[in-house]
Every structure is written in structure tokens, then in C-alpha cells.
Structure 1
Amino acid sequence: MSTLQPIQALSLDSVQQQAFIKYFNSLPEKPPTTVRIFDRNDYYSVHGVDAHTAAREVFSSISNIKKMGIEPNRLDYLVLSKGNFEILIKKLLLVRRYRVEIYVAEGSVKSSDWVLKYKGSPGCLSQLEEVLGEGLGGSDENTPCLMAVNIKTDAVTKGRLLGVACVTAGDYQMSVTEFTDDDLLTELETITVQMAPSECLVPQADNEDYKMLKQVMARASVTVTKLKKSEFSTEGLHQDLNRLLKFKDDQQQDSNSFPETRKETAMTSLAAAIKYIALLNDSTNFGRFRLSTIQADCFLHLDAAALSALNVFPELGDTSHAPSRSLLGLLDRCRTQQGKRLLAQWLRQPLRDINLINERLDIVELLVGSSQLRLQLHEDHLRRIPDLQALARRLSRKKANLHDCYRIYQAIKRLPSLLQCLAEANNSTVHSSLSEPISELNDDLNKYQQMIEATMDMEAVDRGDFLVKPSFDENLQNLSEQLEKLQSSADKELNKAARDLGLDAGKTVKLENNPQGEFCFRVTMKEEQTLRGNKKYTIIDAVKGGVRFKTNNLENISEEYVHAKSSYEKEQDKVVAEIVGIAAGYSECLFCLSHILARLDVLVAFAVAASTAPYPYCRPVFTESLDQLVLKDVRHSCLEVQEGVSYIPNDVVFKRGECIMHVVTGANMGGKSTWMRSCGVAVLMAHAGSLVPATSATVPRLRALAARVGAADREDKGQSTFMLEMIESAAILRTATPDSLVLVDELGRGTSTYEGCGIAWAIADTQKRSKLNSKRTYSKLKRQSNHRRSQKGRISLKNF
């Protein structure tokens, strides 16, 4: 845990303290999920309730909180070093999903003249990049996504029409959709899980629909931000999109040519998102964004409860990623940051297209069978690939430096050997989906590689310096020669001083160059007596390392050297800006290359996870038919890797006409929940394109996976555990389809055994009579008794 830096208290007198307290109390009221931070140049301060929030987040204690002012107007405050400030910002935005406001003093930090300069929220981090750099959230599982939702009444059906827009600035992506939804907003929850927004914008309203929307977002841990209804207006949106969107060469340069713009309600949401994230304030965004439609039906429908029940992701703030704690932790063997982000996306968006699933499975199966190929990719090639997506974004925004350019160059230089490695697989799927697109991009990036080799000083790179070759530019060459001459003159002065003092040049007397470029001589304390009384030399200072001194000639050389070095750096900055400007033209290719390498990284991660499992995984067989779902000797992939666990595999069998529903009873801790979860996890892994922990698996193409495991009461809502369970069961009954897998744990919790069985029977009967026709529905309801009963009380429902 980080500790407080030496700054312990604000250096303000009593008058200044009272002035600040008066200013702080005059600030408008804010929600508790917004934290105000005051920048005091070398450190930061937080006050009032925010001080307690910050102390808990950074120090896990409030012991560092101090008080300022006099009674009765005293104010709590906490001082943060810059390092602790960064820890606080990241925890608030990425873990707590809070908002942050940073105030900067207009005059002296001791005055009370403050201005709100930076604002940040979970879905809008662009302003804080100026404070913390662009790495904020870069290592997170997903690039921050902002969602906006507007709900209107459908003029035709009189139902609720939702317009949804998502903006991922890091990927230059805009996606929209428009649909009618039920009163539980089931479809919206599915899209929220798939897109994983950090923040959701909604118009200010207090009707039942927006109350339900807030509940949906709370289940998905998404921050809800209310905006004025006027923000959800398409006025001026056409012109904004014309500036932001990237048009194809043969496409009409008009945003109205995109079919998505005909979704009027969705466009109001997109307009609000564009204004909120201030995309038009940054000219580097112009002509870069892509507009697409959210295709929710392409993926297996999941809700937040299913992700939680199956432990797909670790809890927010859990950075351990232990394989036994979540499915993501188990499968995350990725070597690149872009691969880690894509893996999280694949787990949120399991495929429904059997051909696409089998394409992934073909490659994973090949990698599992070829240990040499797998190890070469995992241990040699992928581990040396930087975050090309982040670097490409820095290039496109003209924020990159020579080091960034060199890292990209290193990745491109590795592509030929990577392609040769993939060619050894001699597999048509690998060739068409990976090798061929990488090869095409390698050809496109060849000129980038040549440019870096022609402009960068590779000898300086070996020393850790990233410089432009002096020979690349005539002005640089002249300045470089001047610097060399001045260095040579300084060396001559060293030899002259050594002869005069009777010392050994380079050993007992040395020439030094400080960071500003100024030259000086240094002798050890032992040799200091040789300087005494000698008017030729001026002593600068005496430190532990020795005595530093200079001559008039050396001082003149230093002045010329500092001036020449400054000119060289300015001239080099011009050349670097030109190099970055040219390199920015390759950012599109780098984005594409990043995506393909991320795909390869995830597939290799799947293969590594399968090959290192305690027992073999198998390739699932997908069927269009809904006749059966059979998992032979299925295991729970996370549980079996726990230390000291000896897992006993089980079968899961659903067959039309034989058994499409199970009601399972038994003693506590008998493995019923684990059996149920193992089924759900295996099905999700199969749809994501991974091998599954079983001896054989036949899986139909499912539309949805619904799961409810665990429950707790909501005292603030007046809802008991049982009531919540019934509400959730009703939601499942209303939304389940013939091609859904439903998993419900502990049905009838808190009732007697017979009442629980009656509830299970009633739900089964309701499903049977519903328009969904339970004879065609893959579902399972599991009942765990809270009271021990005789064998006579244990019921198994079959042949529904």
C-alpha cells in the first residue's frame, strides 16, 4: 500500500484557511459519487466527505485526515502526493465508477481563486489524459465505452422504443441500435452486457422506464449520468457526423448515406454522447470514426446475473486474475494488452454463428495438437508485441514520440518471422484468417519500416537514446558537427588542466556534463589541495563525490555548447514532428494489425489454457438442431485447477422427448450448484470458441443463457429474498425462448421442501402452457432443500 509523502499539512495561515473554507462551501451541491480534487502544484488536496472517500481508497484508513479552520467551520482534508493522486484517480474511475473534478488555482495556490479545469467520468477520460497520460485504463480489460439511451413511445405499437448509442473513442467506433423492449428492459440489459459501457447517459426523467433502466445499469455496474433533455437533440448532428466519420473512397461524403442515421431515436442518443465526450474539440478525431449497427442477435444473449452466476469476470477492483476465481482469469494467458481486451470482449459476446465458432475451434485445436507452434507463438513472438492499438492512437493524435515510433518498428520487423511460423502450420484456416491479412498489412507497413531505419540513430538506440540521425537533415548535421567540436575543445581543456595540476586526465581529474549541458571538472576530496590558491580555477561546489571547478575557457565552451544543444533539440523536434506526421498515415494499418494479432493472441491463450489443464479438454460439436445438449464427464474449469481439489466429473443430458428439465434435490454441499455451473460455463466457453473441460460435448446453437444463483433481500425496496427470487423467475419465464438454457439455483429459498417442489412444479407448468412451449425449451430448474426430508420428499421431474 502506498504511503503518504512528507507533505503532511496544507501550508495555509488561518486567514487563508477560512477563505478556502468559504469558497469550498460555496460550491454547488454534488452527488456523493463525484469527488472534487484541488491541484496545489506539487501535491493535491481533497476536502470534506471526499477526504474520507480518498483516504479509504488510497490508504484503507482515515487516520491521515486532518482538519483546517476554527470551530464551528472546521473542514476535514487530506493531502495526496502525485503518486497517490494517480492511484486515487484510477480507483475512482475504473473501480468505483465515480466521477472526478479537478480544480486548479488561477493565481497563487494559497488564494481562493479556483477554476474547474478537468472533468472525468468512467466513460469520458479524454480530459484526464492531459493530467495522467493516455495510459489511463489502457491496461483494463476493455477500452472505455460510453453509452447513451433515450426511451420514447413507439407511434405504431404504442410500446417503449429505445434508442441506444455507444461511442468507444479509443477504437474510433460509434455503434447504434433501435428496438422495442419489454417493461423489464431485457434487450437493453443484453446489449449492456455485450458492449460493457463504463457510463450511461440518460435524459432527466422520473418515470418507471428510467427507474427500471437505472436498475439494469446498477446490475451491470454502469454509472448513470442524467443530462438535460435538450442534449438529446439531433440539431446539428448531420454536420458533426460529416466531420467525424470516415467515408470510403467510393462513398458519398454525406452522413445521411449511412443507414444508421435513419434510426431517429438512436441518433438522439448519439448526439448526446458526442456532445458529452466533446469529440469535436479534438481535430484529430475528424474523419476517423466508423458508424455501425449493434448486432445483438449475432451473440449469445447474457445478462448481468448470468455473468455473475457463472463467475465469468472477477469483481471490480480484483486485479489478481487468479485462474480459480473467474473464467477470464482461467483463460487469460494472453501476451498482449490488445489480446486481453479482446478476450474480455469474446466472453461478453459469445458467437451464435456455427461457421465462425468452428473457425476459432479449428485454430485452437491445431495449436493444442502442435506444442512447438504454440510455444513459439506464446513464448517468443506474441510476448514481444507492444500495445499497437494504444500506439496507433497516439500516432493519430500526434502525441507520439520517437520511442513510440521505434516500438512500432520493432513489432513490424518481427512480422516476417511470425508469418514464417504460421506458415509451418500448413493450415487453410490459419492462412485465410491470420497469415494472409498479416502479410498484406506487412507489405503496407514496409515503407514505415524503411522510414524509421533512414531517420533514427540506431547506435543511439542501443545506448537507450532515441534520436534522429544527424545525417538525415542538413541543419542537424551542422549542429552535430558543432557539438562535436565543442566536445573536443572541452576535452583539450581537460588535458590542459590535468598537466597544469599534475593530475591524470580521466582518472584523478574528470570532465563532467550536467543535464543542462554545462561542462565542469571534478577532482576527489583527496586532490582538492591542488586547487588551493590557484586563481586559474573557480570552485563551483564541494560535494561528497568531490570538488567541482571550471576555468574561464571551459565556461565559454559550456555556454556555446548549451546554446548549440538547445538549437539541436529544437531542430530535432521539427524533424520528429515531421516523422510522426508521416507515421500517423499508417495508424489505420496499425489498428487493423492490432486487431488481427489480438485475435491470434486469444486463440493461443485458449490453446494454452486447454493444454495446461489437469485433464484434457475436448472440442465441442455444434448442431443447428435443438434435439439434444449432451456433456459427457463435464468438469468445472475453474474449480479443477484449485489446489487440493479432486474433481469428480458428471454428465449433463438434455434430450427432446426424454428430459428437457431437471429438478435436482439433495443434501447441502453435495455439488448441485457446481454441477449446474459446470454446464453453464462449458456452454459459454463453447460459444466463445474454446475447447471445453469434458470428454465429449454436443451443443446446440443457443440464443440465450439465463442464470440466477444466489439472492439477497432489498430492505430499501421492501423486497424479501423470496420476493426477489419470484421476480427474477418471472423475468426468465417471460424472456426464455425455445433455444435458451436456463439455470436457477435454490428455487423456493426459505420455504419448506414441499412448498419448494410446488413452486418448481408451478413454474414448469407455467412454462409448459406458455406460448414459448416448454417442450422445445432447454431449461433446468434446480431446487435445494433448506430442510432435511425423507427420500419420499425428493422429486425428479422428467418428460415434460
Structure 2
Amino acid sequence: MSSLQPIHALSLDSVQQQAFIKYFNSLPEKPLTTVRIFDRNDYYSVHGVDAHTAAREVFSSISNIKKMGIEPNKLDYLVLSKGNFEILIKKLLLVRRYRVEIYVAEGSVKNSDWSLKYKGSPGCLSQLEEVLGEGLGASEENSPCLMAVNIKTDAVSKGRLLGVACIVAGDYQMSVVEFTDDDLLTELETITVQMAPSECLVPQTENDDYKALKQVMARAGVTITKLKKGEFSTEGLHQDLTRLLKFKENQQQDANAFPETRKENAMSSLAAAIKYNSLLNDSTNFGRFRISTIQADCFLHLDAAALSALNVFPELGDSSHTPSRSLYGLLDRCRTQQGKRLLAQWLRQPLRDIYLINERLEIVELLVNSSQLRLQLHEDHLRRIPDLQALARRLTRKKANLHDCYRIYQAIKRLPSLLQCLAEANNATVHSSLSEPISELNDDLDKFQQMIETTMDMDAVDRGDYLVKPSFDDLLQNLSKQLEQLQSSAERELNKAAKDLGMDAGKIIKLEYNPQAGYHFRVTLKEEQALRGNKKYTIIDAVKGGVRFKTSKLEDITEEYTQTKSSYEKEQDKVVTEIVGIAAGYSECLFCLSHILSRLDVLVAFSVATSSAPYPYCKPVFTESLNELVLKDVRHPCLEVQEGISYIPNDVTFKRGSCVMHIVTGANMGGKSTWMRSCGVAVLMAHAGCFVPASEAIVPKLRALAARVGAADREDKGQSTFMLEMIESAAILRTATPDSLVLVDELGRGTSTYEGCGIAWAIAEELATKSQCFCLFATHYHELTRLPSLHPGVIVNSHAEASVVDQQLILLHKISPGPATNSLGLHVAKLADLPDSIIEYAEAKQAQLETNLFEVEAAVKSQEVGDGQKLIQDFLKKCKEIQKSTASDDAMMNEIGKLKQNLLLNNNKYVQSLIS
């Protein structure tokens, strides 16, 4: 806990404080989402509003804030230790998605001569790697992705032409796409979900298209950074790309050789991203990047609302990854960091290619059925694999050391036993997709392994030191001999001191070495009296562990040993630089190996999640046909692992010709939303290549999964619950097609009952008849249960069962055919301990307001309802004609009375129930 304690105040006198305040106030204005930090060598300081932000993030309190200067120009400030600083940086960039500026003193920190040395933003962390090393982003689920978007008017279609570019610097990957989009930018939202950028660059403008873009990024939790329009210029881009891109052997060294460069608008976005990421400032980036086209249609389309509704990922800042909190937390049984990143990518990009999905499912099935193979991979092989992607990047950037090289060596050394383990599976898919590529890379990395074995001192590794073999270099060998001789001299001094003091060398009196005290002797506290008054020995300290002391001769040996060791380390650094330079040539192989091992890791994680589930999962069956979607005994995978939960499974059945939409009614807390979510989660898991929590699953190849579930205001974005519902509903109506699954829950709240009901009715009818998508539509508007009679063979009613026994509500959490008989809202209110007086008054009001139309319609057959409604329409038309044609009210009422008698002669139960 000590690292979280604030440290001392700034040691500046009043003149220095006033000078700093003057400098600080002269800095350009900045948004509140940018935090300025000042590096004061041993610690850091944050000032003004930023001090309050930092105090809340690090200490959850502003009590540590101090003031500097004199009234009326006092300035708040907070001092941070290095540990506090690292905590703050991670929270600001990775959780809050803020920007950071770090100022470094030019000369003495007591002067007010500062310069902006480092900048960091959610999508651009490269500069801060120098400050924080591997501490930033190394353990995150995904490498930071920077997106840039430029919107132009398409000269041909007059629509919006979007140019999108993404850069993942950690993977040396550029990807671009160009497309026309609607006014809600629904296609851009799909791409944003798939690519998961941390930051989006846009030109400075306030037109309607960029306002819509801002809403898309807000829903996806992406920070927007506005740049001058000139930053989106493609001038000089061809030359920059030619330096950055990796070309194949014998390929012309010209960026125009890549078809992506013909997408002019996308290239303008890429130019902005390259400049913002300062890629050309680091020569290690040259010849490393790959460029590709974003293939959004290869993956199941998800929007931000669907990700949120289905709890696919934990909330930002939630690092617990509890299985019951998110689908990612449930499936994350990965043993490697690269596996965790790939799992997140697979959940954002579920596949649509049935062959690729079945390839994943086949391997998962093999691992589920072979517990020995699964356990060997999960408990032994994969847990020993380091983050090869991060290590390869360190090699590329010449930031690696001997320890990094040894970790890579260990991973390579394990590959033969891993391949032997996979060979025992005796499966063609495992061989072609995993074993064969790993085997090829193992052959390519054989020389790396030989180099490490030739150059590294493996005996020193056992002691925790990572050193070059002395025999590798003549000068190193001479220096090593000198060190050994000095060690021997120190041991001779030990024997002399032991003889002089009458103690056993190595038992009672021991020789030790550390960088601070050098060579010294140590005896226990009870032997300390033998040293008293003996001028040959100088006591260093006496602590619980014993008394440490030395002689003048031992001090001379230490001095000579320190100098020799320093020379050895300098000479070794030259050799290490050479080794790292050679090792960097293998970084491409290591990136490839990392990708394949991460794939294996995720598939093993899927099998572990399947095998450890409380109830069996099943292998989904995929069909090209869109005729049916069937999930039998489907469960919610996150809820069923909660303690004390006995989950009740339910079926979901869609079949064209009989049902493409379920109107779902029933009591609050009856299980409607959970049923819908379990359906959505199962479909997403199936497309990702994972088994699903059901006894049987038949899933068609879907194009999109959309959801409008849950209610939440966005006051900071100026959006009410109702406004948010309408935005999400509009997006669903634009994109829903017969190969979509749509989940809609409680649509129409936040406005009047009749308006809400009308909107819900219209949207449900549109989705069922025009979009013809598979849809679960939960509602408390019982009027919607009439829709099946209007659209037989398309819409059906389903309800969450509940019973009232002795005035007590019992929720059965079972979904059954047909509409709910009543909403049971008052019974739920009783469960929530609403006062009895309120319940009684509500019951009385309900009796006054209720038309009982729902009960009337539920009591008669749907055919009679339809016929009765036609009879009533005819009756009302004739009444209107009588009103126009009769002179007196009495005559009019007589004629209407006769019409009413004729109406009752039809013996229609619906009409009779209404009139009675």
C-alpha cells in the first residue's frame, strides 16, 4: 500500500513557486480530457484542475491536494511518486480514455524552463513506452488501435463517402476501407465495433455528418481527436508508405503496388494517422508494416448497443474478468497474453464463413472429448509461453535484452514437445491449421536457438543472471578470469578471518557480496562479542539477520572487483547489442508463431470453458438456409455459473412459415430479458466457433445481430432513455434483413402510453413483415399480442410464466406459447415492499382505468376478434351516415338503436363482450 501514499510537498521557495505559476498559466488552453504532468526527476507534480483529476484517480480523494504561491494567485497541486504516476497514466489512457502531456525540465527543476517531451493518447502510446517501459498496455486485451475517418460527398451517388484507416502499431498493421454510408453511419459503427479503436481522428468541422460520427464514437466509447484539415493531406504519403511497408521478395519497392493505395479518401485518413502516430520518427518501423483492406462483411455485424446488451466485455476499468460479469470473462481461460488479445478480437469479429467456423468447432470438439490433450496444452505447454508478440516488437525496436532473448529461447525449446502433443490428436484439421505451420516456424527458428545456446552462460541463468559466456569473447574471458581470481582472494580473506576469530568458515562466519556493501563477512548477533575491540574489522551494521563487517584488504578486493565487473558489463553490452541485432532478424517468424499459438490458446480456452460448465454445452450445427434458428434448452452462460443460481433452460424456435417473431409478454423479473440475452449470446458464441449452452443448436449463417435491450440515460451526451431507444431502433430498422437476429426489449418507454404503444407496434410490424428478420420482441404493451392474429404464420405470442398463490407472486422463469394473461406489475411492486396503502390505491386506479380489452380479446378466438372488429367498423360508418341524414337527435338515437340490435344478431362473442 505504500506506493499509494502521497509523498512530500514541492521543495520550492516562494520566488520559484511564483515563477512556476506564471509559466503554468502561460501554457496554451487545453480540454479537461488532457492532463499535464511535470517530471521533477524523483517524483512528478500535477497542477490546477489536473491535480483534482489525478487525486480522484489515484487516491479516490482530493484531501492530498496542496497549494502553492500567494493569494490571489494560489495554484492547487499534487505530488506523485513514480508508482502513483504509473497508476495515473494507465487509468487516464486505458480507462478514462484521456490524453496525457509530460513536461520535462530544461536544466534544474527549480527553474521554470520546461518543454513538452512526451505525449500520449488512447490510440497512440508509443512515446510513453520510453517513460513506462513494458508497464503500459502489455497486459491489456488488445493492442491500442488508432482510427482516422474522413467524410466526403460522393460525386456519383451524392451520398456520404467515408474513408477509414486503422493503425495497430504493436502489430505493425495498417488497414483501410472506403464505402458510402447512411445518415446514421451504421456501417461505420459496425467497423468501429470490429476494429475496437481507442481513439478516432477527424477533421475539424461541425457539419451534420461529423455530429453523427461523434454519436457513433460515443456509443462505442472511443475518444475523438480533432485535427486540422491539412493533416488529412496525402502529399508525400506515397514516399512515406514506401518506407514503412513491407514488400515481398522480388516485389517492386513502390507503395502503388498495393491496391489499397487507390482508395483516395481512405489514404487521406491514413496520412493523418501516420503523422499523428509519428511512425516516421522511428526507423525501426521502416519495412515492417503490412497494409490490408478491412473486410467488414466477413464477420457478423454487431453494433455497440448489441455488445453492451449482451455484456460481451467487462466495463472499462473492470480488470476482475469475473465469469458471471461478461462473456469475455467467462471464456477467458487463455494462458498467454496474445491469446487474451485474440479472444477479444474473435468476440468482436464473429465469423460468417461456415467452413472457417466448423474448422474451429472441430478442434474445440476434439479438445472437449480428449481431456488428456486439453489438460496437457492448458496446464503445461501454453502456460509457459511468454508474450512473443511483445518480445518480437522489443527485438524489432532494439529494446530487448538477454533476458528477453532467453524467454524466447525457452518458448522455442518447448515447441518439439508441443508438436508431439498435437501429433497425438491424429487430426487432419489440427495438423494443417496448427501443427504444420508451427513445425515450419520451428525449423526457421532453429538457428536462433543455437545462437542463444552458444552465447549465453546457462549456469549463470540458474543463478538468475543473464550473461554472455566468457568463452564467447577473448576480452570477456580475460575479465572473467580476473573476477574469479578476485573471488578466490575474497575467500582466502574469509579463511584468514575465520582462523583469527576461531570460527568455522562458511558455517559460523560467511562471505557475502551485494552491489551496495561489496564483499563482507557476516556472523550471527550472538557472535558479535568476538569483534568487540578488534581493530582489524570494521562493522558495517548489526541487524536481525546478523552482524556484517569487513577488513581493509576485503575493501580493496571489493573496489578492484567492482571496476573489473563494470568493464565486463561494458564489454558484454557490446556483445549483447550484436546478439539482439541478429535476433531482430527473427522477429517476423516470432510474430507468426505468436499468432498461431494465440489461436491454439483461444481454442483450448473454448474447450476448457465448455468442459467446466455446470451443465453440458453442445456443438452448434450451421446451415446455409435461413429457414430456421433453433436453440433447445438454451441457458445464459454467465448467469448459470453464479453461486446459488439454479438456471431454468428454455427453447428458442424460429421457423419461416410459422414464426419469425416472438411477442414476449409476462411479469417483470419473469425472465423475458434473460431469455432474449441467452439467445443472442448463444448465437454470438456459435459464430465465434465456440460450443453453446444448449442441448441442441441449429444456427443459420447470419449477417447481423442487433439489440435494443435495457434503459439508460446519457445525460453527458444530452440523450434521454427515449432518445437513445429511437436512435438504436432507427439503426436496427435500417440494417435488419432476413439474415439478421434482432432483440428488442421494452421499446417505447419515456413517452406517453399510447405513443409508446404505437411506436412499438409500428416497429414490430415493420421488422416482422418488411425486414423479415428473426426477432424476439419483449413488451408490456399487451395490445401487441394482437399482432399474431393480423400476421398468422409470421408472429407468435410467447410469455414468461408466473403464478399467484395466496396473494404471493411465484415467478417460474419458463417461457411458454401464448400471451400472458396479465402483467402482474402490482405483485412485483409488493415484492419490492411498496407500502400497502400505495398498492391498494394503485389497484383501485387500475380498476377505473382498465378497459379490459385485453381480457376480452384473450377470451375469444382470433378469427372472431377479426370479424368482430369489421362489424364494429361497419356499425360506426353507418352511425356516421345516420348522423348526417337525420334531422333530430331522437330520430338519430332510434336508428342507432336498431343498428345495435342488428349488430347483436350476428352472435359475435367479441362484439357481445364489448357491448355487455
Q: What range is the shorter-chain TM-score in?
A: over 0.9
Deviation at 1:118? 0.9
Output the CA distance in 1 between the equivalents of 2:486 and 2:395: 36
> 5+ residue gaps in structure 2?
783-822, 826-849, 864-916
Deviation at 1:245? 0.6
Q: Read off the aligned partner of 2:651 and give its amino acid letter.
A: D
For each residue in 1:180-222, what CA deviation from the matched residue of structure 2 results, as whole angstroms up to 9, or x when unmatched? Answer: 1111011111000000011111111111111111111111111
Quote the residue 1:68 is aligned against.
Answer: 68
Matched, 1:546 2:547: yes
Distance 1:415 1:718, change over 3 A: closer
Q: How does 1:635-674 map to 2 (within 5 A)?
A: 635-674=635-674
Deviation at 1:453? 1.1
Distance 1:470 1:643, change over 3 A: same
Quote the residue 1:312 is aligned against.
Answer: 312
CA contact (8 A) 1:302 1:705 kept: yes
CA contact (8 A) 1:2 1:59 kept: no
Deviation at 1:649? 1.1
Which secondary structure does the structure 1 equivalent of 2:361 belong to? helix
**Which segment is superposed worse, 309-318 or 40-49?**
40-49
Quote the residue 1:109 is aligned against.
Answer: 109
Output the CA distance in 2 between the equivalents of 1:466 and 1:592: 26
Quote the residue 2:462 is aligned against.
Answer: 462
Distance 1:792 1:759, change over 3 A: farther
Output the CA distance in 2 between the equivalents of 1:380 and 1:3: 35
Q: Read off the aligned partner of 2:675 and give its amino acid letter.
A: W
Deviation at 1:779? 2.7
Distance 1:139 1:554, change over 3 A: closer
Deviation at 1:750? 4.3
Quote the residue 1:634 is aligned against.
Answer: 634
Which secondary structure does the structure 1 equivalent of 2:131 belong to? helix
Q: Read off the aligned partner of 1:401 and give its amino acid letter.
A: N
Deviation at 1:599? 0.5
Quote the residue 1:774 is aligned against.
Answer: 771
Task: Find 1:784's aligned residue among 774, 780, 783.
Answer: 780
Quote the residue 1:566 is aligned against.
Answer: 566
Output the CA distance in 2 between the equivalents of 1:29 and 1:691: 53
Quote the residue 1:172 is aligned against.
Answer: 172
Deviation at 1:13? 1.8
Output the CA distance in 2 between the equivalents of 1:70 and 1:746: 58
Output the CA distance in 1 between the equivalents of 2:716 and 2:533: 83
Quote the residue 1:12 is aligned against.
Answer: 12
Q: Read off the aligned partner of 1:693 and give its amino acid letter.
A: P
Deviation at 1:727? 3.2
Output the CA distance in 2 between the equivalents of 1:375 and 1:669: 40
Matched, 1:134 2:131: no
Output the CA distance in 1 between the equivalents of 2:78 and 2:181: 47
Matched, 1:240 2:236: no
CA contact (8 A) 2:768 2:775 kept: no
Deviation at 1:354? 0.3
Distance 1:716 1:340, change over 3 A: closer
Which secondary structure does the structure 1 equivalent of 2:663 belong to? coil
Deviation at 1:68? 1.6
Q: Read off the aligned partner of 2:633 and give its amino acid letter.
A: D
Quote the residue 2:390 is aligned against.
Answer: 390
> 5+ residue gaps in structure 1?
none
Length-normalised TM-score, structure 2? 0.83
CA contact (8 A) 1:184 1:212 kept: yes
Distance 1:243 1:5, change over 3 A: same
Output the CA distance in 1 between the equivalents of 2:10 and 2:739: 63
Q: How does 1:283-682 map to 2 (within 5 A)?
A: 283-499=283-499, 504-506=504-506, 509-515=509-515, 518-521=518-521, 526-527=527-528, 532=533, 534=535, 537=536, 539=538, 541-544=540-543, 545-546=546-547, 548-551=549-552, 553-682=553-682
Output the CA distance in 1 between the equivalents of 2:499 and 2:112: 61
CA contact (8 A) 1:629 1:698 kept: yes
**Which segment is superposed worse, 336-345 or 57-66?**
57-66
For each residue in 1:504-532, what CA deviation from the matched residue of structure 2 results, as whole angstroms up to 9, or x when unmatched? Answer: 54456554434168445566775566574
Output the CA distance in 2 between the equivalents of 1:44 and 1:636: 47
Distance 1:73 1:450, change over 3 A: same
Q: Read off the aligned partner of 1:706 and give its amino acid letter.
A: A
CA contact (8 A) 1:752 1:785 kept: no
Q: Read off the aligned partner of 2:144 and give its amino acid letter.
A: P
Output the CA distance in 1 between the equivalents of 2:38 and 2:165: 33
Which secondary structure does the structure 2 equivalent of 1:643 belong to? coil
Which secondary structure does the structure 2 equivalent of 1:124 belong to? coil
Matched, 1:196 2:193: no
Quote the residue 1:699 is aligned against.
Answer: 699
- Percentage of identical aligned residues: 83
Which secondary structure does the structure 2 equivalent of 1:461 belong to? helix
Output the CA distance in 1 between the equivalents of 2:529 and 2:715: 80
For each residue in 1:670-721, what CA deviation from the matched residue of structure 2 results, as whole angstroms up to 9, or x when unmatched? Answer: 1111111111111100000001111111111111111011233455776543
Output the CA distance in 2 between the equivalents of 1:354 and 1:794: 45
Deviation at 1:489? 2.5
Which secondary structure does the structure 2 equivalent of 1:128 belong to? helix
For each residue in 1:590-612, what CA deviation from the matched residue of structure 2 results, as whole angstroms up to 9, or x when unmatched? Answer: 11111111001100111111111
Distance 1:6 1:670, change over 3 A: closer
Distance 1:531 1:634, change over 3 A: closer
Output the CA distance in 2 between the equivalents of 1:793 and 1:336: 61
Matched, 1:56 2:119: no
Output the CA distance in 2 between the equivalents of 1:443 and 1:47: 56
Output the CA distance in 1 between the equivalents of 2:720 and 2:558: 79
**Which segment is superposed worse, 243-252 or 540-549?**
540-549
For each residue in 1:64-97, what CA deviation from the matched residue of structure 2 results, as whole angstroms up to 9, or x when unmatched? Answer: 1112222211111111111111111101100000
**Which segment is superposed worse, 513-522 or 700-709?**
513-522
CA contact (8 A) 1:202 1:224 kept: yes
For each residue in 1:7-45, what CA deviation from the matched residue of structure 2 results, as whole angstroms up to 9, or x when unmatched? Answer: 231112222222211111111111010111111111111
CA contact (8 A) 2:512 2:519 kept: yes
Matched, 1:749 2:764: no
Distance 1:517 1:473, change over 3 A: farther
Q: Which has the higher contact order (CA 8 A, sep 6+)?
A: 1
Which secondary structure does the structure 1 equivalent of 2:164 belong to? strand
**Which segment is superposed worse, 297-306 or 62-71?**
62-71
Deviation at 1:290? 0.3
Q: How does 1:707-722 map to 2 (within 5 A)?
A: 707-713=707-713, 720-722=720-722
Output the CA distance in 2 between the equivalents of 1:524 and 1:750: 77
Quote the residue 1:264 is aligned against.
Answer: 264
Output the CA distance in 1 between the equivalents of 2:75 and 2:517: 47
Q: Answer with 1 or 2: which has the greater Rg.
A: 2
Matched, 1:280 2:280: yes
Which secondary structure does the structure 1 equivalent of 2:647 belong to? coil
Quote the residue 1:688 is aligned against.
Answer: 688
Output the CA distance in 1 between the equivalents of 2:679 and 2:730: 22
Deviation at 1:780? 3.2
Deviation at 1:778? 2.3
For each residue in 1:112-159, what CA deviation from the matched residue of structure 2 results, as whole angstroms up to 9, or x when unmatched? Answer: 111111111011111111111023111111011111111111111111
Deviation at 1:758? 3.6
Q: Read off the aligned partner of 1:779 and give its amino acid letter.
A: C
**Which segment is superposed worse, 375-384 or 482-491?**
482-491
Distance 1:676 1:752, change over 3 A: farther
CA contact (8 A) 2:744 2:775 kept: no
Distance 1:377 1:501, change over 3 A: closer
